[in-house]
Chain A
C-alpha cells in the first residue's frame, strides 16, 4: 500500500513530539563510557554480534543542544580500534538507537565495547493497544534513566517505561473552503507512564503549552531510521528536515488537554507507575480528493 494521510500524520507527529520534548524539556540524560555487553539475538543477521546497553531509545536528533549522538563505538581490545567515535560512518557496524545497542560485523563475542550517548527520559511508541491494555494489562520493564538497578543490557524489542504511547483515535473530515478544501481533524491520544510524579508533571506541562504549534508534514520516506534502527544518512537533524517541508500547509495543534490518573485510581493498579494523558486535536487543511 502506498503512503496514506494517517501514515504521514503519525510520522510527522512523532518526530515533532520527540524534538519538542527534548528541546523544551531537555528530557535526556548523557552517559559516557557505558559498557555495551554482548548478548544473543536471534532476530539479527548472523554476520553481526550484538552489544547492548542498559538503556533503550538513544537520542538521534543532532539539533538538540548538549545531547551526545554517537557516531560509532570504542572497541578496546582490538589493536586497530577500528570502531572509534572519531571515525564517522558505519563501516562494518550499525547503531540500533531504538534498542540502545551496537551491531558489529564480527564473529568475536568478547570485545570490550564502550559508547557515549544520550538516552531519552521518555521512550516513544506508536501503540495499537487500548488505554486499558496499556495501563492495566501490560507488564513493563522499568528502564530507569538515572539509577539503573542492573547494568546488564536491556532486552531488545519489548516496550519499556518511562514512555509515551501514541494512538490516533478518530479522524474526521468536513468542508472548509470553496474548491474542495477540507478540514481534517485527528485526535491523537498520548498515554504517559512515568516512574515518578515530577517527570510526569513536567511532560504534561510541556505539552499543555503546545497549543497552536505548527508541525511540518514529513513523509515516511524521510523517517530517519533504516532497517537496523540506525540513521539512514548517518545524521539526523529535525529542524533541518522540517524546514524542507512548509509549515504553512502543515499540521496545526488546535487543542490539547492534559490529565492525570487520579491517585485513587492509581492505587488500583498492580504496578506503581504514574499515568497521564494528553489528548491532541490536530487539524490539517487539505485537498483530499486531489
Chain B
C-alpha cells in the first residue's frame, strides 16, 4: 500500500469499504445466524425448557423438584399454556445492525436481550409481577402448586393428583436465562 501512488491510496481508502461492505455483511451474517441458531438450540435443549414444554404430564427432568411433580404444575401453569413461546420469540428476534466502517473492516452491533427483558415477559401465573424464569435461578415457592390444589379444579390438570408434598423449600435453583444470555453475549462480542 505504501508503494502505491498517493492518489491511488486515497481512492482505495474511499472506495474499498463500499466495495467490500456486502461481503463483510455476508460473512458476519453467516456467523451470526450460526451462533443464534446454536443459542436457541441450547435454550430449547435446557432441561428446564424441555420439562416445561412437555407440559403437565412431564417428569421432573430438570431436578429442580427432587423428582416430585414437574415444573409446569409446580409453577401453576394452566393446561394448554405455552410459557416457553415468548422467550423463544424474543430469542428469534435477535438481529444485528451495521454500525459503519471500522479501521479495518466494519462494525456490527447485536441487539441481544438482557436477562431482565426475558424476566419481564415470563410472569408467574399467580403473581404477574414476578418472573418464573428468574425464579428458576433464585427459587420458587410452592404457592402456585398449592393454589392449584386448593382451587376447585386443578388448572394444570394433574397437579391435584400428585401425592408427594412439594414445597418451596424443596426447590433447587438452577442456572437458566442469565447464564445463557451472559454466555452468548460474550460469544456475539467475539464475532469477527
Chain B stretch 139-158: residues in CB contact (< 8 A) with chain A: 139, 141-148, 150-151
Tell me whether A169 and B139 are in contact in the complex, defined as CB-CB below 8 angstroms, given that A131-B168, A132-B146 are known contacts. Answer: yes
In angstroms, Cα B167 to Cα A153, docked, is 35
Residue B173 interfacial (CB < 8 Å): yes
8 residue pairs of the A-B complex, CB under 8 angstroms, read A132-B145, A135-B143, A259-B129, A262-B126, A265-B125, A265-B147, A268-B150, A269-B150
Not counting A259-B129, A268-B147, A270-B150, a sample of 16 additional A-B residue pairs whose C-beta atoms are within 8 angstroms of each other reads A130-B141, A132-B167, A132-B168, A136-B146, A136-B147, A137-B146, A169-B138, A187-B138, A260-B127, A262-B125, A265-B147, A268-B148, A269-B147, A269-B150, A277-B130, A279-B130
In angstroms, Cα B139 to Cα A130, docked, is 11
User: Distance in Å from the Cβ of A127 to the closest Cβ of chain B?
Assistant: 12
Residue B99 interfacial (CB < 8 Å): no
Asked whether, in the complex, the Cβ of A265 is within 8 Å of the Cβ of B167, the reply is: no
Interface size on A, residues (CB 8 A): 23
Chain B stretch 113-147: residues in CB contact (< 8 A) with chain A: 124-130, 138-139, 141-147
User: Distance in Å from the Cβ of A274 to the closest Cβ of chain B?
Assistant: 12
Interface pairs A-B: 3 shortest CB-CB: A259-B129, A131-B141, A265-B126
Residue B5 interfacial (CB < 8 Å): no
Asked whether, in the complex, the Cβ of B173 is within 8 Å of the Cβ of A265, the reply is: no
Instruction: Choose among A136, A258, A265, A270 the residue that contacts B129 (Cβ–Cβ < 8 A).
Output: A258
Asked whether, in the complex, the Cβ of B130 is within 8 Å of the Cβ of A257, the reply is: yes
User: Distance in Å from the Cβ of A198 to the closest Cβ of chain B?
Assistant: 18
Residue A107 interfacial (CB < 8 Å): no
Residue B169 interfacial (CB < 8 Å): yes
B interface, CB within 8 angstroms of A: 76, 124-130, 138-139, 141-148, 150-151, 167-169, 173
Residue A4 interfacial (CB < 8 Å): no
User: Distance in Å from the Cβ of B68 to the closest Cβ of chain A?
Assistant: 14
In angstroms, Cα B151 to Cα A270, docked, is 10
Asked whether, in the complex, the Cβ of A257 is within 8 Å of the Cβ of B146, the reply is: no
User: Distance in Å from the Cβ of B155 to the closest Cβ of chain A?
Assistant: 9
In angstroms, Cα B173 to Cα A170, docked, is 10
Q: Mark A266-285, 1 if CB is under 8 A from B, else 0.
A: 01111000000101000000
* Complex contacts, B129 vs chain A, CB 8 Å: 257-260, 277
Dominant SS among interface residues on chain A: mixed
* Complex contacts, B146 vs chain A, CB 8 Å: 132, 136-137
User: Distance in Å from the Cβ of B192 to the closest Cβ of chain A?
Assistant: 29
Residue A177 interfacial (CB < 8 Å): no
User: Distance in Å from the Cβ of B176 to the closest Cβ of chain A?
Assistant: 14
Q: Which interface residue of B128, B129, B148, B173 has the most chain A CB atoms within 10 A?
A: B129
Asked whether, in the complex, the Cβ of B150 is within 8 Å of the Cβ of A136, the reply is: yes
User: Distance in Å from the Cβ of B108 to the closest Cβ of chain A?
Assistant: 31
Tell me whether A268 and B124 are in contact in the complex, defined as CB-CB below 8 angstroms, given that A130-B142, A130-B169, A136-B143 are known contacts. Answer: no
Asked whether, in the complex, the Cβ of A277 is within 8 Å of the Cβ of B127, the reply is: yes
* Complex contacts, A257 vs chain B, CB 8 Å: 129-130
In angstroms, Cα B138 to Cα A136, docked, is 22
Task: Output the nearest chain B residue to A277 by Cβ-Cβ distance.
Answer: B127
Chain A stretch 230-287: residues in CB contact (< 8 A) with chain B: 257-262, 264-265, 267-270, 277, 279
In angstroms, Cα B126 to Cα A269, docked, is 12
Q: Mark A135-173, 1 if CB is under 8 A from B, else 0.
A: 111000000000000000000000000000000011000
Task: Output the nearest chain B residue to A281 by Cβ-Cβ distance.
Answer: B138
* Complex contacts, B143 vs chain A, CB 8 Å: 131-132, 135-136
Asked whether, in the complex, the Cβ of B130 is within 8 Å of the Cβ of A130, the reply is: no
Task: Output the nearest chain B residue to A279 by Cβ-Cβ distance.
Answer: B130
* Complex contacts, A259 vs chain B, CB 8 Å: 124, 127-130
Instruction: Choose among A132, A187, A262, A264 the residue that contacts B142 (Cβ–Cβ < 8 A).
Output: A132
Task: Output the nearest chain A residue to B124 by Cβ-Cβ distance.
Answer: A259
Q: Which interface residue of A169, A257, A258, A265 has the most chain B CB atoms within 10 A?
A: A265
Task: Output the nearest chain A residue to B127 by Cβ-Cβ distance.
Answer: A259
Instruction: Choose among A132, A137, A264, A265 the residue that contacts B141 (Cβ–Cβ < 8 A).
Output: A132
